[in-house]
Structures are given as C-alpha cells and as structure tokens.
Amino acid sequence: MVIVLKEKDLQGLYVPIVTPFDEEFEVDAASFYNQAYNLFQDEIDGLVVNGTTGESPTITKDELGVLFATAQAARDAAHVDVPLIVGTGTNDTRSTVRKTAEAGKLGAEAALVVVPYYNRPSQQGIIEHFRQVAGVGVPVILYDVPHRTGVTLELDTVRTILDIDGVIGMKDSTPNTGLVTELTRLGSKPVLCGEDTLLYAALQSGAKGVMSASANVETERFVSFIRSFVNGAQEESRREFEELLPLIRLLFQEPNPAPIKWLLHQQGVIGSGALRLPLLPVTEGLQARLAVYL
C-alpha cells in the first residue's frame, strides 16, 4: 500500500504508538501488532511508529524495521488507508538524514523530526537542520517540544521551517496555544497539537488535529471527541474532552509511556508493561488511580 501524505492529510487523530517489550526487554512484536490493529479498528487518522511514546531513544535500526513491518501487517489486516509516520529525529543532522532516508526505504509516508536537543543550536542552525532533512525526499513533520529539547523556537523560525519544500506541517507540544493561534492567523501549513491537556483549546485556536499519546487507551473516545469538533458539534466535543481530561492528567503523572503501558497490559492488549531503563514502571499509588479505567 502506497499512501502519498500531503499537507491536507494532516488532520484528525494521529497516535504515537507504544513499543511493547517482553520481560527480557526485547520488542514484543505480537503485542505491538495487537495494539496497532486495535488503533486502526478504532479509525484513527494516522499512526506514529518510534515516537517519544514508543521509547525511540532505545530502539535499534533492526528493531525499527520489525516494528514498521508489523504496523504494515496490522494496517493491511484492518483494511484501512492510514498513513504510517516514523520518528527519525536526533540531535545530529547527519544521523537524522540517514534515519529519515531509511524510514523512506521502509515505506514510511512521513518522518516526525524533533528539534535537535541537548546541543542547543542557534535558530539558524535548526533551520538548516530541517532543510537538510527535508532534502531526503520523505515528507517531514516538524516536532517542537521545548520541555524535552531545551530549545524554544521563535515564531519566525517556525515559519521559515514550514516554508521549506518537503516540510508538510508540525506537531506543536509547546505549553500553550499561542503558537498555533499565530500560525493559524498567518495561514501556515497544518498544525497538530501534541500537548494532550491542550487538545480542545488547540483545535479552537486553529489546529487541524492532534497527535495524542493518551489516545493509546480509550481510543474510541478520543476519535469521538475529534469527530464531534470537526462536525461542528463543539459543545459536545468540549464535554467529551472534559470527560477525558482526568485520564489524560493521570497518564502524565509519571513519565510517559509508563502509565499507558500499565493500562494496556492490565487490559490484556500487550503482554507486559515493561519499559527500558532509565524509565521505570508506574508506582503502586498511580496504579490504584489508573485502575478505575479497567
């Protein structure tokens, strides 16, 4: 299946899927298939493999190949035309270019590329980073998450990156809706909200959709929330989001994706809630609060 992902397609609900591990901390492809198939059955609009929620810093090239092939198999079995996006961003431009090219060879419809972290590049350095990556030929989605990267993008920097040929939109995980409001006013390429507590506010401010880690669980409720908003039932959408908000807050009480994995394991979707260090399983106190969703 070949899907050509364009700017107009960046809308609705995209889910960065977890990467299940077995008790030996090896990739559990069977559990990954189950989760991907369930997400496709719930009619999501896009799937992100190897995102932050997928514990991307710990995933090897060979493991990514297994995960992507498994996602393709689940998509085929579900008979859906849903784009598969691969997280390829690093803090080294050459590595990011290489990983993005490899994702394209696997068949990824787009690459989710985070702003380079840790080495704190200048605004111009970040622009050049994305110019190099976009030159690979795989559609690129800019991922701005300053509380993880330690870098705050200026509005003009975002606009310049979004103007690059091959960059088709962005995932905005900034701590408020100011950026999406400004980009909407200026008529930019589409923005997906990646800050789960702001999903409804971001849609109201002009976001075309969301890329939500929380939607790994209670997926059909997130789909309903998005569909209500898109169909003009904004009051219904607001109510649905407010009902989801307590769950969203619990899922981020401890480092993502530990709470999500615990719930999916308890629900029997994945075989284990194991995480690779330095992430740890959820505490007993949070387990007790999450148990109301079982």
Cα angle 82-85-86, degrees, rounded to a multiple of 5: 150
The reported pTM is 0.97
Is 33 an active-site residue? Answer: no
- In angstroms, the CA 24 to CA 21 distance is 7
Helix, strand, coil percentages for the chain (3-state, nearest 5) = 50, 15, 35
Please report, for the chain, the start and end positions of each structural domain, with discontinuous segments joined by +: 9-293
Please say whether the beta carbons of 257 and 213 come within 8 A. yes
- In this predicted structure, what is the pLDDT of residue 91? 96
Distance CA 159, CA 31 (A): 39
| Catalytic residue chosen out of the listed positions 14, 37, 171, 200 | 171
Confidence grade of residue 3 (pLDDT, cut at 50, 70, 90): confident
53 annotated to a ligand binding site: yes
Q: How far is 111 from 89, CA to CA, in rounded Å?
A: 8
Q: What is the DSSP letter of 171?
A: E
Residue 19 and residue 59 in contact, taking contact as beta carbons nearer than 8 Å: yes
How far is residue 255's CA from residue 128's CA, in Å, rounded to a whole number? 31
- Please identify which of the residues 14, 37, 99, 143 carries the catalytic annotation: 143
With beta carbons less than 8 A apart as the criterion, state whether 15 and 46 touch: yes
Told to judge if 293 belongs to the known catalytic residues of this protein, a careful annotator would answer no
Give the pairing of strands 140-144 and 110-114: parallel
**Per residue in 24-81, pLDDT tens?**
999 999 999 999 999 999 999 999 999 999 999 999 999 999 999 999 999 999 999 9
- Residues 6 or more apart from 124 whose CB is under 8 A from it? none
Given a cut of 80, is residue 167 above it in pLDDT?
A: yes
Percent of the chain exceeding pLDDT 70 equals 99
Reference 87, options 134, 142, 130; nearest CA is 142
- pLDDT digits 0-9 by tens, 181-203: 999 999 999 999 999 999 999 99
**Token digits of residue 20:** 């299940």
Q: Could you tell me if 192 and 209 are in contact, meaning their C-beta atoms sit under 8 angstroms apart?
A: yes
- Determine whether domain 9-293 maps to CATH 3.30.450.40: no
pLDDT in tens, 90-114: 999 999 999 999 999 999 999 999 9
Omega before residue 278 within 30° of 0, cis: yes
Alpha carbon of 26 to those of 39, 56, 290: distances in Å? 22, 14, 25
